[in-house]
Amino acid sequence: VGGHRVVLHLDMNAFFVSVERLGNPHLRGRPAAVVGDASRRGIVLTASYEARAFGVKTAMLLAEARALCPGLRIVASNPDKYQDMSERIFEAVRPLSDRVEMTSCDEAYLDATHDAPDWSAAERAARDLQAKIRGELGLPCSVGAAPNKLLAKTASESKKPDGITVVRPEDAAGFLRDRPVRDICGVGARLEEQLAGLGVRTCGQLGAADEETLYARFGIWGHWLKRMGNGVDDSPVARLCDPESVKSVGHSTTFPRNTRDPEVLKGYLMWLCEKVARRLRAGGFAGRTVSLTVRYADFETVGRQAGLREAVNDEGAIYAACARLLEKPGPPPRAVRLLGVSVSSLEREPENRFLFDELGKRRRAAAAVDALNARFGQTAVGRARTKTAERAGVFKSAMPAFLRRRDAR
């Protein structure tokens, strides 16, 4: 508490588009967007700044984006590429500080206190970080430097692309005062609305608000909100990258078309369970809680979960639990648009403890399948149920033709 601190926040600019531009000059300097590639219900995942000038935004329907920006260049997303690049970013940044907290695939906090005894050194550190990312990876980014995480993040968000923003302690109050509360990380649409109901719209107003009122309304959050309005944040930069910090592993998918056909639903379910199980094993995890998410045609979303006696990471066990959860309240009352499978209460997978029992047998079979898939492609080997669904074309049937072509490339 107290004392000199320098926190840097690194924020990649239009990350997915920037990664695609590395290998595709055709996309550079023009309106471009990366879209989800699973179905015709594709939405914009990331828009280039040129496209944003036309009003194209994340989460916008593809058709809407094209209407706003007729020359928009579209690329199907390549999640593996972004994951690889994310790891390279982390490797580039890691030597700079013993405290690096990667909060998503394209954002990180660094504690630079040690290398920046004053604020001109802090600004140099921010520029060096930006130059390193540009030089080593060829990617644009914005960097904020401030006495805490809250201000560093708000700073990096405030100037894009290629921004450098330094907020010195003496400038902190002025920097936040007239910004909308929504600029604070943690204040979303709902909270913004409720605060507006109290007449609180800016960070300055939030910092000056009556603490009792905030506490009565928002509980312990109210206490933190007032502090945040005043730019106060003592939270340390964590070392958040170790596998120990993973809490859950999940996959979900929206169908090309809504369905209530039990066979189709079970086909998707097994497909999702295979993906989850594979990732659990790759990370050396097993989990004791299995969760199923069902989103109906009207967008109502329900979740159901089940605790298991033992931690599992094979698709058979995960599927069995999910199938029970899916049928728990009887057949789906209406058409389903999305299913999701997630495993939590994770434990490290015991090495060879179960080599000779039933669980061990399942794990060895699963490992053999992983090895075959690694050699012959993602889905060379899978459950019959998934294969049937694939043959029926349920997975990609409705993908737009232009995306399928790009996909094949």
Residues of this chain, 119-178, that bind DNA according to CB under 7 A = 157
CA distance 112 to 99: 8
Closest distance of CB 310 from DNA, Å: 12
Q: Which of 67, 164, 381, 399 binds DNA (CB under 7 A)?
A: 67
Looking at residue 238, what DSSP letter applies?
P
For residue 285 the two structure tokens come to: 């995890």
Interface residue with DNA among 135, 174, 243, 303 (CB under 7 A) is 303
Residue 120 CB, nearest distance to DNA (Å)? 28
**Per CB under 7 A, 370 contacts DNA:** no
Options 201-209, 229-237, 251-259, 380-388: segment touching DNA (CB under 7 A): 251-259
Listed in sequence order, the residues at least 6 apart from 45 whose beta carbon sits closer than 8 Å to its beta carbon are 16, 33, 34, 35, 36, 58, 77
Does residue 92 belong to the site contacting DNA (CB under 7 A)? no
Which one of 115, 128, 171, 192 is in contact with DNA (CB under 7 A)?
Answer: 192
Can residue 289 be called a binding residue for DNA (CB under 7 A)? yes
Applying the rule CB under 7 A, the residues between 317 and 356 that interact with DNA are 337-338, 340, 342, 344
Whether 280 and 343 have beta carbons less than 8 Å apart is answered as yes
Q: Which residue number, 116 or 341, has a Cβ lying nearer to DNA?
A: 341
- The distance from CA 81 to its chain's CA centroid, rounded to whole angstroms, is 14
For residue 337, give Cα distances in angstroms to 247, 259, 270, 330, 332: 26, 7, 16, 17, 11
Query: Does the protein bind DNA through residue 306 (CB under 7 A)?
Result: yes
**Interface pick for DNA out of 14, 150, 249, 318 (rule CB under 7 A):** 249
| 3-class secondary-structure state, position 143 | strand
Binding test (CB under 7 A) with DNA, winner from 301, 357, 380, 402: 301
Q: How far apart are CA 41 and CA 397, in angstroms?
A: 12
Q: Which of 1, 170, 212, 220 binds DNA (CB under 7 A)?
A: 220
Among 1, 95, 170, 189, binds DNA (CB under 7 A): 189
* Element spanning 155, H or E: helix 149-158
Phi, psi of 179 (to 5 degrees): -80, 150
Considering Cα of 167, then 172, then 178, then 184, what sign does the dihedral take?
Answer: positive
CB 13 within 8 A of CB 141: yes
Q: How far is the CB of 37 from DNA (least distance, A)?
A: 9
**Runs of H (alpha helix) within 230-314:** 262-283
- For residue 282, state whether it binds DNA (rule: CB under 7 A): no
**Options 160-168, 215-223, 349-357, 383-391: segment touching DNA (CB under 7 A):** 215-223
- Catalytic residue, from 20, 50, 101, 107: name it: 107
Respond yes or no: is residue 347 known to be catalytic.
no
The tokens of 201 are what? Answer: 């719209």
# of chain residues touching DNA (CB under 7 A): 57
Q: Is 382 helix (H, G, I), strand (E, B) or coil?
A: coil
Beta bridge partners of 35: 44, 76
- Binding site residues, DNA, CB under 7 A: 36, 38-39, 41, 43, 45, 58-59, 61, 63-64, 67, 103-107, 157, 184-192, 219-221, 245-254, 275, 279, 289, 298-299, 301-307, 337-338, 340, 342, 344
Give the active site residues.
107
